[in-house]
Structure 1
Amino acid sequence: MNVFYEESGSFKVGTVLADNTTSLQVEAIHGKRSKIKAASVLLRFETPALNDFMDLAQKIADELDPDFLWECCAQDTEFESESLATDYFGHKPDPVEAAATLILLHSAPMYFYKKGKGRYKAAPPDALKAAIASQEKKRLLAELKTRYTEQLCTGKLPEEFKANIAQLLYKPDKNSIEWKALEAASTQAKQSVLSILENCGAIPSTHDYHYHRFLWEHFPNGIDFSETDRQLIPDNLDDLPTADVAAFSIDDASTTEIDDAFSITPLKLGSFRIGIHIAAPALGIQPNTPLDKTAAGRLSTVYIPGKKITMLPDTAIDYYTLGENRSCPAVSLYLDVADDYTVTHIENRIEKINIVKNLRHDTLETYFNERTLNKELTDQPFLKELRILWHFACKMESLRGKSNDANNDKIDYSFDVENDHVTIKARRRGSPIDKVVSELMIFANTEWGRQLAETNIAGIYRAQGNSKVKMTTSPAPHQGLGVAQYAWISSPMRRYVDLINQRQLVAMIRGETPPYARDSDDLLIAMQDFETAHSIYSDFQRSMEYYWCLRWLLQENIQTINAQVIKENLVKFEPIPLVMRIPSLPNVAPDTYVKLEIQSIDLLECNIQAKFVEKLDS
């Protein structure tokens, strides 16, 4: 005796070896023996032979039309499969015909709902219609996926992808047919999805891929300013007095947001007055105006090699920047300084400043550096004033306890990108230019932070304790700088917290009620949002500098390069700011120089593979 039975949702046949009423022991065609429940047996048969039964039943099942059977069966009640087979074949079905009917019913769940052992019910017409439509949709999607996959594998971007390419690149819907086709093409071609898209021309520029991903995530509405933002309504600056000083700024050649400038005025008995002048957008950009809300949304200028996304529109920058040969509104801090560079008097003013010159690093470095400080050079602009400021900066650095600051041995790098060609320049931190600017800014931010605290006017401070830097609305020491408090005020066109602090400072100088109370929600929200944005922007800047380091290696066709071991297998390349781990590096002491071989560079994934070649003597 043979049986046709159901097990784990599929039909099987076997020869009965033992019948224990509630269970059977059967032997399959291939000889495997198993125990089955008697309730799972659908048919018992002697013929045809066990080896042929399933093939014969499947052949008949393939000839059955589920549409016709659905029309033949009772529509409102359950029915036995055998009764449907009797109606269809016109006679009591033999075992093969009965099994074929069961196979068809089981394989057409859209048409027939299973209700029990050998019992089914016809699907309602509306449900069947919907199921057939869904099946057809799946079939069309499968064909579409196949077409997409074939095109992608041959390096052709499907036309339908073009309108949605940004979504696919930066925030794909993993359930979409486009993404599934990309995954299938990736598997077939044994390449990453990004590589597939790059091969199809969807990523014409690796730089733009990384840049636009950042914009997609953090500037979803784009980086263009509205016409309302550009309609600058400045304060009545004609009422401001004009200072009798000749001021100059010190900035990189690419800087357009010139926030700070300096002046030197001789006084009697060898003393002099240092003016620290900060651009004053707070005089015209009032809280809760459209432009202020835009600045509060951006929070900071974003800097990356070759590009920047400004916090303020160009109309505001052009108006407030301390450009040369202009009279510019400024908040000034004047320091009366004795001939030993001791500060004897401090005064605040809100005024207009005549900017005589914008000194730029590239030209200034040629005559104002460590080698020329003591040389008799007299024909360079503002060299006398720069030397005075340098001596004053050295005195201030010493008073902060930082005269032997370890940062002076560190290297800063600048990236110049023009027509996709990158130049990476190194400059030792603590150079005369850096020291002058940094010390005067530290002095101004520290002093103005002190004044805000002493007059009980709220401000946003940068504090550091136990090597942790945080922002706070309460004045607190900054251990890294060696000052009692440090408020960011010196860059109001580039950082929103500086703009807020400048508003508070202007109110203090004028004796007015400050815009932000100490418990102001706007103050706290701006501080928290800025700290988050500053971290995101800084990380993006570092990632793009890393990218341009990789581009430099390719541009210069670097095959091998020297590197200095930092610790364990972490090294820094020379002469660029690229730090990475080298798994093949042997155990060598920190500061050891080694030679590395560049094996591969992937600009899309921002990955580089390098291996250790040899240890260098020096």
Structure 2
Amino acid sequence: MYVVFEDNGQFKAEKILSEADTSLQVESASGKRSKIKRNSTIFTFDNYNPVSLLEEASQQAEEIDLQFLWECAPQEEFQVEALARDYFGHEPGILEKTTLLFRLHGAPAYFHRKGKGQYRPAPPEILQAALAALEKKRLQAEQQAVWIEQIKQGTVPEAFSQIIKTFLCKPDKNTQEWKAFSQALSETGETTEQLLLRLNVYPHPLALHREKFLGLNFPKGTQIREVPLPAIPELPVAEVEAYSIDDMFTTEIDDAISVHQESGDIYRIGIHIAVPALIVDRDSELDQIARNRMSTVYMPGDKIPMQSESIIKTFSLDAGKPTPALSLYVQANISTGEIISSESRLEQVSVQENIRTNLIDHLITREALEDESLQMPYPFLFRPLWKFGQHLKQAREVIRGKAENNSRVEYTFVLDGPADDPDSIINLAPRRRDAPLDLIVAEYMIMANSIWAGYLNQNGLPGIFRSQQAGRTRMSTHPLPHETIGVPHYAWCTSPLRRYVDLVNQRQIIAAVQHGISARLVAPFKPKDADLYAIIGAFESQYTLWGDFQHSLERFWCLRWFEQQQLKTVEATVIRDKLVRFNNAPFVTEINGLPELERGTQVEIDLLGCNLLDLTLDCQYVKKIDPPETAPDATEVTQS
């Protein structure tokens, strides 16, 4: 004895081994035994091979005319066996019953299942709607098949012209166009990016990299709506000669430095910081613009500013115009390194000159800074700054427990041509991190960030502080030591035009400058303000995202530089395992086949080709070589 039954939506025919009141034990053709409920059985039969039954019934079911069957069926619910008698005109055999069962079950538009082996014909209006839907689906499938073939052949279907660019970032996956595109991806084995490039939706990988980032992060464009600026309060005029020190590509000038000799070795050194927080109040429209971006986005040859053009123009410390500034004055003995006093002020500062490091780097040497008989530009500025800066550096190194290693080379990406044109000529301008001008600027920004962090703490004001302990860098609302820098407390405060955290901290500092000990009552952020934690979380996430994008485009332009220079062989320094850093470019990559070598080992690498979409370089190890005298430090993986 055999049984036809339903199991998880499938019909099966198996041999009955034993029966109970509510169940049967059955055995499949493969010998697998199972227990089924009696109420899942539909037919029982003898003298017919169960495997053949299912195969033949499935084939013959397709020959039954559904429209005729629907017209023959009673309008009320019916059992399959009853309809089989009427349809075939005699007592049906097991093959005929099973054939009719398969046809009824496979046509839900015509027949609605009402129970085990029980169906009801669809009402005429519902049937017509269902048939129309099926026809629509059939036509869509035909259209999709045409589209898929066109896409596979490298042609963008006409219907895709207005929407295909949305496939890169935010496709509407319910559209027929996306479903066709997705199927083409499956059939070709390509990624979305690869297929869009092959279809010439984007002219080159650089356009795709930029468009993907902008589409995900700036879907409405990068332009900032101009908002009327509040009036700037009247400020006292600072009687100082201040100078900014930046490379020639810096346009948002956040900081300047002044030096005044009071007597002998006692100097007053001023750190003057652009002060947009003077009018960019918490939760204002201007604040929301900056908070949404969190930071200026940098990329070779281009940037997306955090603040509006009017804010930058008003507060950037450009030479030749009085500009509001938050100034930190430090009175110090530059020979002993003693800091005698410090004071913060809000004032107007006129920058004498925007010094460009690229133009004078070769003249500002350690020898010239330390030997007053040698000629150098701006000796009145750089010599006292260098002398006192060395004491600041030594004091930090005592806390660090070791000297800083600033020997690594960083690179500036200089494009001759548009930043969105991959054929623009790229120049990688090397610059050592221990260049005297870099060390001077870094030392005084560290001093300002550390002193202002302590200033907030002394006045009981929360801020966004940076710390590093046990190798872990974190941001918090209370100060902690920064072991790597070597200071007891630290906060980003010196780049308020370019970084939102600095803008937040600047508001708090302004409150302390204006209100002193009562600042806690009027500061924008009070102690334990939960919004500070929200800012920290959002900033860390977005700042990392911006940095990753900058790194990806720098990697792209490194690959283009290799191509433009037609480099076939380079020297590199082993970092660890298969990872190496090139000696002539800010490029880190893995080398398959690299033998086990000690960190710092110099190797020769052959360049075989690159993929500008995946940002990968195909290269192979050639040999070990003697390290050059100026080999870059391989102990750090971080790139500029």
Which residue in 1 is equivalent to 2:343? 347
Q: Distance in 2 between matches of 1:52 and 1:577?
A: 70
Alignment of 1:284-299 (within 5 A): 284-299=279-294
Which residue in 1 is equivalent to 2:442? 438
CA distance 1:134–1:43, change in 2 (3 Å): farther
| Helix, strand or coil at the partner of 2:340 | strand
| 1:393 is the counterpart of 2:402 | no
**1:138 to partner: Cα distance:** 2.4
Q: What RMSD, in angstroms, separates the aligned Cα atoms of the two structures?
A: 3.7
Q: Distance in 2 between matches of 1:605 and 1:385?
A: 47
- Normalised by the length of structure 2, the TM-score is 0.83
Which residue in 2 is equivalent to 1:162? 161
Which sections of structure 2, spanning at least 5 residues, go unmatched? 418-423, 628-640
CA contact (8 A) 2:148 2:183 kept: yes
> Please, which of 529, 541, 550 is the counterpart of residue 550 of structure 2?
541
Q: Deviations over 1:340-377 (max 9, x none)?
A: 15433333322111111111121121322346445778
- Normalised by the length of structure 1, the TM-score is 0.86
Letter in 2 for 1:574: N
| 1:495 is the counterpart of 2:499 | yes
| Helix, strand or coil at the partner of 2:161 | helix
CA contact (8 A) 1:25 1:33 kept: no
Which residue in 2 is equivalent to 1:358? 354
| Helix, strand or coil at the partner of 1:489 | coil
Which residue in 2 is equivalent to 1:74? 74
Q: Distance in 1 between matches of 2:311 and 2:17?
A: 94
Which residue in 2 is equivalent to 1:214? 213
CA contact (8 A) 1:303 1:541 kept: yes
CA distance 1:152–1:500, change in 2 (3 Å): same
Letter in 2 for 1:445: N
CA distance 1:448–1:136, change in 2 (3 Å): same
Which residue in 1 is equivalent to 2:204? 205
CA distance 1:89–1:542, change in 2 (3 Å): same
| 1:261 is the counterpart of 2:256 | yes
> Please, which of 296, 301, 325 is the counterpart of residue 296 of structure 2?
301
Which residue in 2 is equivalent to 1:336? 331
Q: Distance in 1 between matches of 2:347 and 2:449?
A: 19
Q: Distance in 1 between matches of 2:427 and 2:137?
A: 53
Q: Distance in 2 between matches of 1:516 and 1:600?
A: 53
CA distance 1:445–1:243, change in 2 (3 Å): same
Letter in 2 for 1:351: E
> Please, which of 291, 316, 319 is the counterpart of residue 321 of structure 1?
316
Which residue in 2 is equivalent to 1:184? 183
Identity of aligned residues (%): 36
Identify which range, 469-478 or 3-12, moves more after superposition: 3-12
Which residue in 1 is equivalent to 2:432? 428
Which residue in 2 is equivalent to 1:282? 277
Letter in 1 for 2:203: P
Letter in 1 for 2:230: I
Which residue in 1 is equivalent to 2:238? 243
| Helix, strand or coil at the partner of 2:620 | strand
CA contact (8 A) 2:369 2:386 kept: no
Letter in 2 for 1:474: H
Which sections of structure 1, spanning at least 5 residues, go unmatched? none
Which residue in 2 is equivalent to 1:139? 138
CA contact (8 A) 1:73 1:84 kept: yes
Q: Distance in 2 between matches of 1:452 and 1:85?
A: 89
**1:5 to partner: Cα distance:** 6.4
Identify which range, 524-533 or 327-336, moves more after superposition: 524-533
Q: Distance in 1 between matches of 2:152 and 2:597?
A: 46
Which residue in 1 is equivalent to 2:412? 414
**1:130 to partner: Cα distance:** 4.0
> Please, which of 568, 574, 589 is the counterpart of residue 577 of structure 2?
568
| Helix, strand or coil at the partner of 1:267 | strand
Q: Deviations over 1:290-349 (max 9, x none)?
A: 101211222221222222221111110000000011111111122233351543333332
Identify which range, 255-264 or 197-206, moves more after superposition: 197-206
Which residue in 1 is equivalent to 2:533? 524
CA distance 1:376–1:140, change in 2 (3 Å): farther
| Helix, strand or coil at the partner of 1:535 | helix
Q: Distance in 1 between matches of 2:470 and 2:220?
A: 39
CA distance 1:322–1:381, change in 2 (3 Å): farther
| 1:457 is the counterpart of 2:458 | no
Which residue in 1 is equivalent to 2:111? 112
CA distance 1:329–1:344, change in 2 (3 Å): same
Q: Distance in 1 between matches of 2:93 and 2:461?
A: 98
CA contact (8 A) 1:4 1:11 kept: no
CA distance 1:437–1:617, change in 2 (3 Å): closer
| Helix, strand or coil at the partner of 2:264 | helix
Q: Distance in 2 between matches of 1:142 and 1:493?
A: 54
Q: Distance in 1 between matches of 2:474 and 2:52?
A: 80
CA distance 1:595–1:127, change in 2 (3 Å): farther
CA contact (8 A) 2:77 2:118 kept: no
CA distance 1:435–1:129, change in 2 (3 Å): same
Q: Distance in 1 between matches of 2:60 and 2:455?
A: 96
Identify which range, 253-262 or 527-536, moves more after superposition: 527-536
| Helix, strand or coil at the partner of 2:343 | strand
Identify which range, 384-393 or 394-403, moves more after superposition: 394-403
Which residue in 2 is equivalent to 1:151? 150
Q: Distance in 2 between matches of 1:342 and 1:55?
A: 96
| Helix, strand or coil at the partner of 1:584 | coil
Count how many residue pairs are aligned between Structure 1 and Structure 2: 605
Alignment of 1:495-514 (within 5 A): 495-511=499-515, 513-514=522-523
| Helix, strand or coil at the partner of 1:336 | strand
| Helix, strand or coil at the partner of 1:406 | coil
Q: Deviations over 1:183-231 (max 9, x none)?
A: 4323443433321211101222322322333333333443221233xx2
Superposed structure 1 runs of 4+ greater than 6 Å apart:
2-14, 18-28, 32-40, 42-46, 49-60, 91-99, 375-379
Q: Deviations over 1:421-445 (max 9, x none)?
A: 3222221112111111011111111
**1:86 to partner: Cα distance:** 5.2
**1:40 to partner: Cα distance:** 6.4
Letter in 2 for 1:484: P
